[in-house]
Amino acid sequence: MPTPSKKSVPGDNLGERETPKPWGKCAVCSLRDYRFCAAFTRRIAKNAPGLIRTEREAVPRQNLYRAREALRQMVLVREGVAFRYVLVPDGQRQILSFCLPGDFIAASGTLRDSAHFSVQALTPMQLCVFDKKDFVKFVESDREAMRALADICIGEKEECEARIVDLGRRSSEERIARFMLDLMFQLQRRGIQHTSFQFPLRQQHIADALGLTQVHVSRVIGKFRREGLINLSRGTLDIIDVSALRHIAGGQRD
């Protein structure tokens, strides 16, 4: 059942251990030329010195945000993976996307009071946090920043639409193959140039992202493994035969 198990987790919501830090740290961050940071960091340092960046950590299963809660902070992933999801009335879970390092967790929150999805950490995480009010003030005062924000939202929308096509018109094998390749390409864009990488998702997460059941995901992955396409164990995914997997995915993957 996709019902997320309820395990007691320390500090269920973000809150403790805020550490105001200077922007200097950004200068040595590997994300500094990636997406959000590339567009914002330097600009903020220059034009909005009053906007404080703080740091937070999160542990696996920790809730970073709950649907419909007031959005008070803007959160950027520095390390680790989280996912955005929606629970439907009958208890099922649909995962909307995974948030990787460099992703803004709720960019759209800049112009909204709350979001309709929840966010949960999948791995231990390092986060950069901004006060929302301050951030909004900055974005509204800086044309380039507003543009960058729009750009990020558009990118998310495009990913969303690609996912709609997957869910509406592709088989489970296609979806799973595409999903793995997608993840690989996303990591590659972040500088990890391997066909083997950390894969912290449980089969249930894949199932909830792709509209399948965990059991079925297990069968498909088993098949891929038996066919020598991938190897997946102990949190590492190794894509052995990229081109065969891409073929199953139905082409079109970057």
CB of 198 to DNA, least distance (A): 13
> Which residues ranging from 170 to 199 are in contact with a second copy (CB under 8 A)?
170
The span of 17-25, 93-101, 156-164, 202-210 binding DNA (CB under 7 A) equals 202-210
Name residues whose C-beta falls within 8 Å of residue 90's C-beta, 6 or more positions apart in sequence. none
Under 8 Å between Cβ of 26 and 116? no
Per CB under 7 A, which of residues 128..187 are in contact with DNA?
171-173
CA distance 50 to 128: 16
Q: Is 7 exposed, middle or buried (0-12, 13-18, 19+ CB in 10 A)?
A: exposed
| 94 interface partner picked from a second copy, DNA, none, CB below 5 to 8 A per type | a second copy
Structure token pair of residue 124: 């231990």
Mark residue 119 as left, alpha or beta (left: phi above 0; alpha: psi -120 to 50; beta: remaining): beta
> Binding mask 151-170 vs a second copy (x if CB under 8 A, - otherwise)?
x-xx-xxx-xxxxxx-xxxx
CB of 164 vs a second copy, minimal distance in Å: 6
Judge contact between 211 and 94, C-beta under 8 A: yes
Measure CA of the first residue to CA of the last residue in the chain; give whole Å.
33
Least distance in angstroms from the C-beta of 156 to a second copy: 6
211 interacts with a second copy by CB under 8 A: yes
Alpha-carbon gap, residue 96 to 167, rounded angstroms: 12
Q: Which partner, DNA, a second copy, none, binds residue 89 by CB below 5 to 8 Å per kind?
A: a second copy
Does residue 73 belong to the site contacting DNA (CB under 7 A)?
Answer: no
In the complex, the residues that contact a second copy under the rule CB under 8 A are 86, 88-90, 92-94, 96, 108, 110-112, 116-117, 140, 143, 146-147, 149-151, 153-154, 156-158, 160-165, 167-170, 208-211, 250-252
